[in-house]
Amino acid sequence: MIDYLHPENPEIRKLTQISNRLKDGEIFIFPSDTVYAIIADANSREGVEALYELRKLPKDKPLSLLCKDISMASHMIEYLPNPTYRLMKKITPGPFTFILKASKNLPKPSFAHHKDKLIGIRFPSQIYLQTLLEIHDAPITTASASTNDEFIIDIDDLETLYGRHVASIIDGGIIKVQVSTILDCTEDKIKVIREGLGFELVENEI
Could you report the per-residue pLDDT of 69-81, keeping only the tens digit for each?
999 999 999 999 9
Asked if residue 34 lies in contact with residue 173, where contact means CB atoms within 8 angstroms, the answer is: no
Asked if residue 152 lies in contact with residue 29, where contact means CB atoms within 8 angstroms, the answer is: no
- Residue-wise pLDDT for 3-25, tens only, equals 999 999 999 999 999 999 999 99
Rg value, the chain, Cα: 16
CATH code for position 51: 3.90.870.10
Count: domains in the chain = 1
Query: If DSSP codes are grouped into helix, strand and coil, which group holds residue 29?
Result: strand
Instruction: Decide: pTM greater than 0.85.
Output: yes
| Residue 93 phi, psi (nearest 5) | -75, 155
Indicate the pLDDT class of residue 44, thresholds 50, 70 and 90.
very high
Instruction: Give the list of residues 6+ apart from residue 183 with CB closer than 8 angstroms, or none.
Output: 84, 87, 96, 97, 98, 99, 190, 191, 192, 193, 202, 206
Asked if residue 41 lies in contact with residue 136, where contact means CB atoms within 8 angstroms, the answer is: yes
How far CA 116 is from CA of 61, 103, 109, in Å, comes to 10, 11, 15
DSSP of 109-165, one letter per residue?
HHHTT--S-EEEEE----HHHHHHHHHH-S-EEEEE-EETTEE---HHHHHHHHTTT
Quick check: 146 pLDDT over 80? yes
| Residue 181 phi, psi (nearest 5) | -80, 125
Quick check: 204 pLDDT over 90? no
Mean pLDDT of 54-70: 91
| Helix pair 12-23, 127-136: axis angle to 10 deg | 60
Quick check: 149 pLDDT over 80? no
DSSP of 143-159, one letter per residue?
EE-EETTEE---HHHHH
Torsion of CA 88, 116, 152, 50, to 10 degrees: -120
Quick check: 167 pLDDT over 70? yes
Least confident of 66-80, 99-113, 154-168: 99-113
- Residue-wise pLDDT for 183-195, tens only, equals 999 999 999 999 9
What domain range includes position 78?
A: 2-202
